[in-house]
Structure 1
Amino acid sequence: MVFRSGSVQAMVGMLGAAGRLFVGVSVGAAIAFAELAFLGWAALVTLFGLIRGRRPDGIERPARHLVEVSRWRIAAFLPGGDEVEHLDDYPGRRAVAYLSARWLVGLLGGLVALLFLYGLGTGAVWARDLFVGRSSALLVVSQVIGGLVLLFLAVQGFLGVAALDRWLARRLLLPSDRARYERRISELAASRAGVVAAVDAERRRIERDLHDGVQQRLVALGLLLGQARRTTDRQRSDDLVGQAHDEAREILAELRDVAWRAYPADLDNLGLAEALARVAERAGGSVTVDCRVGRLPSAVETAAYFVVSEAVTNAAKHARDSRVRVVVGGGGGQAGPTVRVTVTDDGPGGADPAGGGLSGLARRVAALDGSFAVDSPPGGPTSVTAELPCPSGSSSAAAVPLPRSDGAR
């Protein structure tokens, strides 16, 4: 019973794949006529432009529209067409070149589809003659053998047209290896420069915190101790020492705060979930954290932590009394598993992605080959999203329990 069920499912799957292949090739044949019409119109526009001494304009945009239709068809119906599904960075001239060659493949696919339909019609006539007794046994055998041969040729024709369609899209739309390498080098150079800038900005922030906060308090502490040493009044000396003790405690707390903002120790010791819980506690507002991942690689945890910390700080600064929701969860993409970090607040919106804090986060995420996006329309809400690549097996599938913070603690 299991074998029969599996066989039926396999047969249904094969028929479904064959049906999608037939539809994809047939739709490609229909699109070929639209591509021919476009090429004729483009030739006329180019000719008139040359006569008038002007560069032909307005050709590339409709070409891209036609290419997008063909790209969708390849990804949706043809086997192995997933590689062109997210293709969106090809130039307009490549689109025109692709259409100039694609219509031939489309017409070839249409011819194969017509021959297949003709074979089906002929088979139906043979079956009718067999049932009414007009065909002899020898003729029936020869017709069956010929039909199977034609069916095999038709299937090979469909597969060949599909392979040619995919190859043409890869050859004329996808960037070359050299172009991909050059783009990757540019991305790495920009990412490295961004990381250096982010590190310098973080150093300046720490220096400013130490200079404006801790250093000033240390000066005050020194003055208090100096007064305590110089005074001859015992009660006055005890009061000054008490004030100095309180000031020392404040300095210690501020130093811990500066160290925490530079890099939280809980991130290494207890993990991302506990570090985010501390962020929620220190935010002083309504912050809800939902962390659905376990321990991650150190670089991923660090980037996720600072995305949340900076986004929550911005919400507290620019959207007072807003409710902030933090969600950290696993995801999957073409490049493999990812960790998705989303911070949303119901503030007035209008956040500037080019601002110092958010642009620094974008550079930090880009250094890990991740993606970073800010959606903050006027009137809100504001949503900050980061996708961080995560090696397979490093993220726990189970959610990590995390206490929620719904206000200052």
Structure 2
Amino acid sequence: MTALSTGRHRAAAPVDAGLEPVADGSVAQWTDRYTHAVMDTFGAPQRVLVRGEGPYVWDADGRRYLDLLGGIAVNALGHAHPTLTAAISAQLGTLGHISNFFASPTQIAFAEKLLSVAQAPEGSRVFLTNSGTEANEAAFKLSRRTGRTRVLALEGSFHGRSMGALALTHKAAYREPFEPLPAGVEFVPFGDADALAAAFEGEPVAALVVEPIQGEAGVLPLPPGYLARARQLTQEHGALLIVDEVQTGMGRTGAWFAHQLPHIGGGVVPDAVTVAKGLGGGFPVGALITFGEPVSTLLGRGQHGTTFGGNPVASAAALTTIGVIERDGLLANVSGVGERLRSRIEALGHPLVAGVRGEGLLIGIELAEPVATEVAARALEAGFIVNPCRPTTIRLAPPFVLTDEQAGTFVDLLAALPGRLTEDGA
């Protein structure tokens, strides 16, 4: 039996590299080493994972879990997808990193493909980054090039943790330790079109930055018509409409982008969209997409940059991820499995489940009690990875390859939960 088949992976190292292979160990042993080597910004890991396949992962003790979080909406194709791993390996074996003094055919083809699925008009462009935070940093700088400094964002928003992206993020616990943040950002009530209209009065606005579905805040979709009204207001006042699709983009909602869904976007064409997470299928890559010639020329030569953004390996990963989604019809799978999963959870009539919301495979399960942490802990013990993003909300963002049968095992777990829970597990 191989190390992979037991769930205990021994990393290979070249004999002449002077490196020792990583030793086997239990979850407890690895966790102890983690606490002495890794900065304590995330707390102790829930598990130490050693391998994955499709929608499943295994920990260092050999236990299998159905990954219903997908690395927080990242692993669109699941784990160890053979087409993706082959493409990354082939590209790295040919050309890994070259800097942005040069271009690669892979980078150019990726940028063209991204503009295509974004349905971007002639004159649109792409700035390639390594993450969603960096994409939102680029968008923030884009707004400053309008000559205005006032930016509107929504209450409940999450746009990243670097200083610029953090300025756009509403949660006080994230912001306050690092203030003063870049100035000019104001927050308006989520989903309130009248409050948004009122916010445009007074000093001119550079940009409105919105998520079509707020993931961190509990999977909250914008109300129908809100994004269309936002587009109208930004055009009337000469402001940019920047749509943060870092979590919702690249097929997560069953469309390439959530704003393309008629009941969310209403056919709007934004000025800019940020994307990351699922874009590379697990490889770090992000992008700022600008729509049309005027917006695409706001950032000029030397006004922004990146060392790793757009490198050939990240570009190959993203281009391949898009290709597999198209080849295997995964947008339809996301829509179908997601809709049926939400319906099955609602049909349980479980007293602990107060409601289900979301689009595609971005799902929020609203609980009747603030026991999301306890539910997530019980799920983990039973072999399911989910996220308690709020005290009353469980977030699911599984790989696009999830099947109805696999999703059904989680529904069975929910059905078996007692009618009432307390945070101490009683």
Question: Which band: TM-score by shorter chain?
Answer: under 0.3
Relative to its length, the structure with more helix (as a share) is 1
Relative to its length, the structure with more strand (as a share) is 2
State TM-score, norm by structure 1: 0.20
Q: Which has the larger radius of gyration?
A: 1
Relative contact order (C-alpha < 8 Å, sep 6+): which is higher?
A: 2
